[in-house]
Structure formats: structure tokens, C-alpha cells
């Protein structure tokens, strides 16, 4: 039966992107593992939900973690034909498919796996599907819901849009758990730069300890114990930020690195992601809102300050609601965060800005 045939070019691209199907060597994978590697692998293999979503800004290592997990699964004995990986940004031909997630999954089931997903489950094994940068697929959540409701598969998805993942989370209630990974922690910068090892002091989901006095006493001693490494690391963070590439290439002059970050992250969000959803976002206004956000990062700028500055630079009439919509869009791309006041009496104030 040829029920699930794909375009020949798309099929070739899929086979090239999954070299383990032919038992050929994987491309070299960066060995440093970010903090999210272990919890993502644990949830993917044995989590309560069939889908785990790893979301975060562009260029923080989400795709690298997916590749590292695939490598780990293969090394642990998972059969080569039980793993499918798709990076949706790299496959233009999938746009011709009406239901790309379902079409490619069922093609994989028929031509690579050679048996149904559920048959594999009855045999006591698992099939792992990796959908990278899934926010680029229209109506991805209903497709994924249909797939995991009818088939025993384990799925990892990644995305650079918090908004799109949250929309999917509503549709996939009870089927999806989310791990959010931002830029590097200080301890990760220390390890990456070779300054030394600073172990994690607070375990995952360990917030109950914050109510205990002994926690803060031990934290103080922990801070003194690692003071020298922490200060060296913070100096590196202050100089180059926390995007992994800035510390992987620590010898690269900052001016060159800044151009690279601007091109691969900021411009990508403004020129590409801004076209998703709302059809008529003004790129110039979006860029100016982000520039002002960078200027007042860590502060709570007044509304009038934002509006007056934008009007002066763009020589246009811009109201606060539109500016706020653009700030919320930038937050949805995880490029920055809007931190709302905790106190009720301050709720009407502008959110504090935090750059990711």
C-alpha cells in the first residue's frame, strides 16, 4: 500500500535529517548539556504526559538538547527506526501538506518503522517523535492531539514562541507538560568557560524550601564557598550576556558577536516572527519598542516616557495600547519578559522589563 507517500524531495530531506535510519554517523553534537537536558529526557521517557514541550528564546540550545536526547536514546539501545526528528524551519516542502505532522508521522510509521505505533507499544517498546520549532506549523496542536490520542508515541516539541505553545497547551490539556529554558544560568556560564563547577543549590520544583530559615542560612554559606567562581562568572556575564554562543566564542570581539546576535535572534524575531498571527505589525515600530525596552531594562518606565520617545523618533501618532501590544508580542517570543507588580495597589503601573 502507498497510502502515505510524500514528495520525493521532502522524503529525501527527512532521510538526510535522520541519518540513524541508515546506521550512518550522526553529525558532531556539542557535548555540554544544559540544565534542561535531564528533566526533558526524564519526562520524555517516563513522564505523565505523552508530549513534553521545551520552549525558550532563539539560540539558547533547544535543538541541541533534542539532538543530545536522540543520541542518548540511541546509545541506550532504542532501535534506529524508532526515532523521528523534524526541524520544521529547515524543510520548506512540508508547507504543501495539509496536515504535515500527521502526514509525516504516518509516512514514518509505514516506511521506516514498518509497523503501527500501537504494535510497537504492545511489544513493550517506545517510539520517539521530535518536532523542532513547531510554532511554524499552522494548527499544529489539533494534529498533535489527534496523533497522541490514537497512537502510543512519546513526543518532544520545541518552540521559540511562548504564545503559540500556550495556545497549544490549552488544546492539549492533560497531554502536554512544558519546560521553559532561558539563557544561560551563571553556573552554566562557569562550566562553559571553564571557571569551575557551581552545583545547583535549589532542586527542580523545590520552592517549598524557600519558606524554611535553614535554607537561607545554608544558601549564605554556599555563596561564600563559591564566591570566587561566582564573581568571575558574573564579570563574564556582565561583559557578554548569557546567550551560549557569546561564551562558546569568548575570544570573538564583542562588536562582531553583537552583530551575530542581532542577526540571528533579534532581527529574526522582528522580521520573521512578527509576521505570525497579526498581519500588519509595523517592523519599524516593533524595533523601536525593543530598543527602548533595552534602554530601560530592569526598570519600570512610565507610559508617557515610552509614548513620547516613540513619537519623537518615528514622527507618528502612537497610542499606549498599540505599544503595549508590541511589548506583549516581544514577551511572547521570549525575547524579553514583562514582570507585573505583585502588590495589588501597583497593578496599574507599567510592568518591569527584563531582557532574556
Burial of residue 307 (number of CB atoms within 10 Å: 0-12, 13-18, 19+): middle
* C-alpha to C-alpha distance for 175 and 205, rounded to whole angstroms: 20
Q: Which residues of 46-72 are buried (b: 16+ CB within 10 A; e: fewer)?
A: ebebbbbbbbbbbbbbbbbbbbbbbee
The DSSP bridge pattern shows strands 352-355 and 336-339 to be antiparallel
pLDDT on residue 216: 92
Label residue 222 by pLDDT band (50, 70, 90). Answer: very high
pLDDT of residue 356 exceeding 70: no
User: Stretch 141-167: mean pLDDT, rounded?
Assistant: 85
User: Rounded distance, CA 189 to CA 183, Å?
Assistant: 10
- Percent with pLDDT over 90 in the chain: 53
Apex 103 CA angle, 99 and 105, nearest 5: 125
Question: Which of 96-110, 152-166, 243-257, 320-334 bottoms out in mean pLDDT, i.e. has the lowest?
Answer: 152-166
Mean per-residue pLDDT, 122-145 = 90
Model confidence at 308: pLDDT above 70: yes
DSSP 128: E
Tell me the three state secondary structure of residue 56. Answer: coil
**For residue 251, pLDDT beyond 90:** yes
Residue 345 has pLDDT above 60, yes or no: no
Q: Is the pLDDT of residue 210 over 60?
A: yes
Under DSSP, the state recorded for 84 is: E
- 294 pLDDT more than 90: no
| Span 165-182, pLDDT tens digits | 666 667 788 899 999 999
- The single residue listed with the C-alpha cell 519598542 is 289
Range with the largest mean pLDDT of 42-51, 301-310, 331-340 = 42-51
pLDDT digits (tens, 9 = 90+) for 30-74: 899 999 999 999 999 999 999 999 998 889 999 999 999 999 999
Percentage of the chain lying above the pLDDT 70 cut: 88
User: Rounded mean pLDDT of 298-306?
Assistant: 81
pLDDT at position 192 is 95
322: pLDDT confidence band, cut at 50, 70 and 90?
confident
In this predicted structure, what is the pLDDT of residue 207?
A: 77
Residues near 64 by Cβ (< 8 Å), separated by ≥ 6?
29, 30, 34
The owner of cell 508580542 is 329
- Residue 348: pLDDT band (50, 70, 90) is low
Residue 277: the pLDDT is: 56
* Domain coordinates in residue numbering, the chain: 8-180, 278-356
Query: pLDDT value at position 2?
Result: 54
Which one of 2.30.31.20, 3.40.30.10, 1.10.10.10, 2.40.10.220 gives the CATH number of domain 278-356?
A: 1.10.10.10
1 pLDDT above the threshold of 50:
no
* pLDDT at 166 (0 to 100): 64
- pLDDT of 335 reads 85
Question: pLDDT band at residue 298, thresholds of 50, 70 and 90?
Answer: confident
φ/ψ of residue 171, rounded to 5: -70, -25
For 8-180, which CATH superfamily applies?
P-loop containing nucleotide triphosphate hydrolases (3.40.50.300)
Give the DSSP H or E segment for 159: strand 154-159
Average pLDDT over residues 256-262: 95
Mean pLDDT of the chain: 87
Strands 352-355 and 51-55: unpaired
* Alpha carbon 12 to chain centroid, angstroms: 27
Amino acid at each position: 500500500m502507498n497510502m502515505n507517500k510524500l514528495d520525493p524531495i521532502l522524503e529525501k530531506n527527512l532521510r538526510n535529517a535522520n541519518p540513524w535510519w541508515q546506521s550512518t554517523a550522526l553529525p558532531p553534537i556539542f557535548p555540554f548539556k544544559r540544565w534542561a537536558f535531564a528533566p526533558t529526557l526524564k519526562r520524555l521517557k517516563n513522564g505523565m504526559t505523552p508530549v513534553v514541550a521545551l520552549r525558550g528564546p532563539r539560540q539558547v540550545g533547544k535543538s541541541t538538547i533534542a539532538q543530545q536526547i536522540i543520541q542518548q536514546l540511541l546509545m541506550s539501545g532504542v532501535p534506529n527506526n524508532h526515532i523521528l526528528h523534524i526541524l520544521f524551519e529547515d524543510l520548506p516542502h512540508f508547507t504543501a501538506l495539509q496536515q504535515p505532522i500527521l502526514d509525516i508521522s504516518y509516512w514514518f510509521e509505514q516506511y521506516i518503522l514498518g509497523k503501527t505505533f500501537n504494535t510497537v507499544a504492545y511489544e513493550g517498546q517506545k517510539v520517539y517523535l521530535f518536532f523542532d520549532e513547531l510554532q511554524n506549523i499552522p494548527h499544529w496542536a489539533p494534529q498533535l492531539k489527534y496523533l497522541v490520542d490514537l497512537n502510543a508515541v512519546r513526543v518532544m516539541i520545541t518552540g521559540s514562541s511562548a504564545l503559540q505553545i500556550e495556545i497549544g497547551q490549552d488544546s492539549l490539556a492533560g497531554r502536554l507538560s512544558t519546560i521553559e529554558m532561558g539563557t544561560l544560568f551563571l553556573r552554566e556560564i562557569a562550566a562553559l568557560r571553564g571557571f569551575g563547577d557551581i552545583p545547583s543549590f535549589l532542586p527542580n520544583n523545590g520552592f517549598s524550601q524557600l519558606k524554611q530559615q535553614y535554607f537561607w542560612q545554608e544558601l549564605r554559606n554556599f555563596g561564600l564557598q563559591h564566591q570566587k567562581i561566582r564573581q568571575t562568572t558574573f564579570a563574564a556575564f556582565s561583559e557578554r550576556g548569557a546567550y551560549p554562543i557569546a561564551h562558546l566564542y569568548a575570544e570573538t570581539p564583542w562588536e562582531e558577536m553583537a552583530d551575530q546576535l542581532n542577526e540571528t535572534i533579534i532581527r529574526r524575531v522582528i522580521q520573521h516572527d512578527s509576521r505570525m498571527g497579526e498581519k500588519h505589525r509595523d517592523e519599524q515600530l516593533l524595533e523601536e519598542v525593543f530598543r527602548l525596552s533595552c534602554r530601560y531594562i530592569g526598570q519600570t518606565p512610565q507610559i508617557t516616557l515610552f509614548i513620547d520617545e516613540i513619537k519623537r523618533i518615528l514622527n507618528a501618532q502612537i497610542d499606549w495600547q498599540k505599544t503595549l501590544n508590541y511589548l506583549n508580542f516581544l514577551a511572547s517570543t521570549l525575547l524579553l519578559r514583562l514582570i507585573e507588580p505583585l502588590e495589588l495597589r501597583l497593578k496599574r503601573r507599567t510592568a518591569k522589563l527584563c531582557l532574556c
